[in-house]
Amino acid sequence: MLNRRNFLTAAVGVAATAGLAACAKEDGSSAGSSSGGGKTITLGFSQVGSESGWRTANTDSVKSAAKEAGYKLQFSDAQQKQENQISAIRSFIAQKVDVIAFSPVVVTGWDAVLKEAQAAKIPVVLTDRSVESDESLFVTLVGSDFTDEGRRAAKILEKVLEKAGHKGKVKIAQLEGTTGAAPAIERAKGFKEVMDAEHKDDWEIVVSQTGDFTRAGGKQVMAAFLQSNPDIDVLFAHNDDMGIGAIQAIEAAGKKPGKDILIVTVDGVKDGFVAMSEGKINAIVECNPLLGPQLMEVVKKVHDGETVERWIKTKESDFMQDQAKEALPTRKY
């Protein structure tokens, strides 16, 4: 995995969500004005899919920011398939767009298409997720520090356990994100770093499996977890949507989410905050999806040949149940 300190990370405000999904098809979203009075910048953007509330918020942010910047946006939804994303990037190359940006489905398997973009002299910017590839094949990454999010999830779980008065061993179930995706790999890594360093004797991940970042996946996998491990104390879900799906399975099993099973998730989308305000999620580690404005700034700099910074620390928050009702009215994504 590449060192995320070599990447550009974003922190942004809050906005409403709406997403479009069309398998590897450009939707032709565009804006009428040009950047700086010159030629209109054409940005080819390939999105992972529309698997979660976070993703639709991210899509909306990119589209809105491109329109605001006056860029012509060629948008493609890969529907969580790497082959669709590679096809979209090759289409952008054929169209001779000015800049390519994409949020990679998984971390590996990108060298060939990135070399094609490099040969065509089209700069590539990664958004949200990293890749395991030659760093010379892309300019930078606009995204969050997922490893740190995993660490923060472990640290906030300490507070959740203390508040709940839990004593003794802690049996943890982990709902992982999409197999091979950077946030799944790095959130698990960060969580385990803290667990191994500070809770080696009292915390144990008794079961861990991907829920593919979806509510349906979270519900299905959590139901299986409860059958094989009915005495789970804690659920750590790599995103809110899987956590919300898991809540449905927990309730179907006759247990109370947030009480019988303590729940920590990552993202901070509106439905996650609603569940937390209802006492069903105990804590959320924020991962802001609104990367669009920062991405457009980077695209402009890259297009103009300016130097792009390699690291901007993201300032994100951790939320407990007692903060949820106060925070919820301000959350619009």
Question: Can you tell me the distance from the alpha carbon of 103 to that of 57, in angstroms, rounded to the nearest whole number?
Answer: 14
Predicted pLDDT of residue 9: 42
Percentages helix, strand, coil for the chain, rounded to the nearest 5? Answer: 45, 20, 40
Q: Tell me if 116 sits within 8 A of 140, measured CB to CB.
A: no
Question: Can you tell me the distance from the alpha carbon of 290 to that of 306, in angstroms, rounded to the nearest whole number?
Answer: 23
Which amino acid would we find at residue 89?
I
Predicted pLDDT of residue 311: 53
CA dihedral 133, 138, 141, 142 (to 10 degrees): -150
Per-residue pLDDT of the chain (333 residues; tens, 9 = 90+): 444 434 444 433 333 333 323 333 344 444 444 444 568 999 999 999 999 999 999 999 999 999 999 999 999 999 999 999 999 999 999 999 999 999 999 999 999 999 999 999 999 999 999 999 998 999 999 999 999 999 999 999 999 999 999 999 999 999 999 999 999 999 999 999 999 999 999 999 999 999 999 999 999 999 999 999 999 999 999 999 999 999 999 999 999 999 999 999 999 999 999 999 999 999 999 999 999 999 999 999 999 999 887 654 566 889 999 887 777 766 666
Question: Can you tell me the distance from the alpha carbon of 234 to that of 157, in angstroms, rounded to the nearest whole number?
Answer: 9
Could you tell me the pTM of the whole model?
A: 0.86
Instruction: With CA atoms as reference, report the closest residue to 332 among 9, 63, 50, 13.
Output: 13
Angle made by CA atoms 304, 105, 190, in degrees to the nearest 5: 95
Which amino acid would we find at residue 189?
K
Predicted pLDDT of residue 39: 86
Which amino acid would we find at residue 2?
L
Torsion angles phi and psi, residue 23, rounded to 5: -60, 110
Question: Can you tell me the distance from the alpha carbon of 4 to that of 1, in angstroms, rounded to the nearest whole number?
Answer: 8
Predicted pLDDT of residue 33: 43
* Look-up of token digits 């032709």: 28
Q: What one-character-per-residue DSSP string does 138-158 give?
A: S-EEEE--HHHHHHHHHHHHH
